Amino acid sequence: MNAPAALDRDLRADFPGLVTREGAPWHYLDTAATAQKPRVVIDAMARALGEDYATVHRGVYSRSAEMTLAYEAARQRIAQLIGGAGSEIVFTRGATEAINLVANSWGRANLKPGDRILLSQLEHHSNIVPWQMIAEQTGAVIDVCPLTRDHRIDLDAAEAMLTERHKLVALAHVSNVLGSALDAKRAAALAHKVGAKLLLDGCQAVPHMPVDVAALDCDFYVFSAHKLYGPTGIGALWARGEILADMPPWEGGGAMIDRVTFAKTTYGVPPQRFEAGTPAITEAIAFAAAADYVSEIGLDAMHAAETKLVARLRRELSSMNDVRLFGPADSAGIVSFLIDGIHPHDLGTILDEANVAIRAGHHCAQPLMDHFDIPATARASFGLYSTDADIDALLEGIARTRRIFGRGTSQ
C-alpha cells in the first residue's frame, strides 16, 4: 500500500501552484490547512470533467457505465489507502460532513439522556460542534480529556475518566495545531474496555503517515481529500461494516433509496444509503489519483522527510529566546509558535511580502487557544514538496519582521 521510495526527484516540479504569477518560488507552509495539488490530480479531474464525463449509477449508455466503474474504483482505492474495504467507505463533502453524518445517524440512534461522549482539549471545531449539537438533542453529556505536559492527549487521564456511561470517544489522530500524534491503539483499547466506540479524525494523519484502520482497531475514521493533495469538496468516512449496516440514513433523496412510494420508502444498503443525490464524481476520481500519487512516493518516505524539516525548524526557533513553541518535538509535519510582541497576523502579513505563506490564527481550535491563554499562533506546516529552502525563507522573514518591529535578533 505504501511502497518504499526516496524523495530523490524535484517533487516541487509536480505542483504548478508552488510558483507566483511572476514565476518566483512560493514558499508554501500551510499544507495543514490545504495541500497543493500535483499535476496528475489536476489532469485526472480535467479528464473526468471533459472527455470522460457522464453521470454514474443511472445511465445505460457506455460512457455512464465506464464512469460508474471509475467512481466505484475510486472508492476501492481510498479504502485500500487506509486498509479498509470499499463497502465500508462513504464519500462525503469532507471530514466535517463525515463527523456530522456519524453524529446525526449513529448518534441519534444510540445516544440517550445521561450517556457520555469523550473529546479532548485539542480537537478541531469539526470534532466538537457536531457532538455539542447532538448532545443537546439527545441529552448526552460531553467530557473533555486534558493534555500532557508535552501537549499530547492524556490517555492516562482518559482511562480514569471513562465509564460504562461513555458511548463514544472522538479524538484527533494528529492535532492540526500541535502535530501531536495519538496512541490510537491504546485509545481504542480504552474505549472498547467500557463498551464505547472510537472515532478518529484522520485529516492530519493520512497525509503524513501510513494508516491501517484494522490495526488501529477504531470504529470510525474520517479524513478529507484536499489535505491529501486531492480536490476540495470530498472526503471519506470509514466505518466498520456491521456498524454501517445498523446506521439509519441521515439525508434523503435520490440514489440512497431502494424503493419510494408515498406510503413508505425503503433504503439502499451501505454505503449507498448515506450518499443522497448526485455524488462528487470528478472529485472522487481525483481523490483516487491523489492516493495513487502519495502511495507511489511512499508515505514512510514522506513522513521521514517531513520529520527532518520539523526537527530543523524547531531547533532554529528554540534557539530564539523570544519564541514560544507548542507541541511535542516529534510533531507530524506541523510547527506552531509565538514570537513575543509580534502578533501572528502581523508576522503572516510580512512573510507574505516575501512569498512565504503560513497560517496565523486559532486554527479552528479555540478551546485549545483558551487552554494556552493565547488568541492565536503562527503555524508552519510541511508537505511532501517542502524543502530546507522554505525554512530558510521563513527564518529570513522572521528576522525581517523583527527589524520592522524594532526587536533585534533575539538570539
Architecture, CATH, for domain 11-37+298-404: Alpha-Beta Complex (3.90)
182 pLDDT band, cuts 50/70/90, is very high
Contact (CB, 8 A) for 81 and 75: no
166 pLDDT band, cuts 50/70/90, is very high
Active site residue 145: no
Contact (CB, 8 A) for 229 and 201: no
Each residue of 28-66: pLDDT tens digit? Answer: 999 999 999 999 999 999 999 999 999 999 888 999 999
The arithmetic mean of pLDDT across residues 286-304, rounded, is: 96
Domain segments of the chain as ranges: 11-37+298-404, 43-295
Q: CA angle, 331 as apex, 369 and 401 as ends, to 5°? A: 60
Q: Which pTM value belongs to this model?
A: 0.96
pLDDT above 50 for 356: yes
pLDDT above 50 for 205: yes
pLDDT above 90 for 10: no
CATH of domain 43-295: 3.40.640.10
Q: Catalytic pick from 145, 203, 218, 364?
A: 364
302 vs 56: CA distance, rounded Å: 34
pLDDT above 80 for 5: no
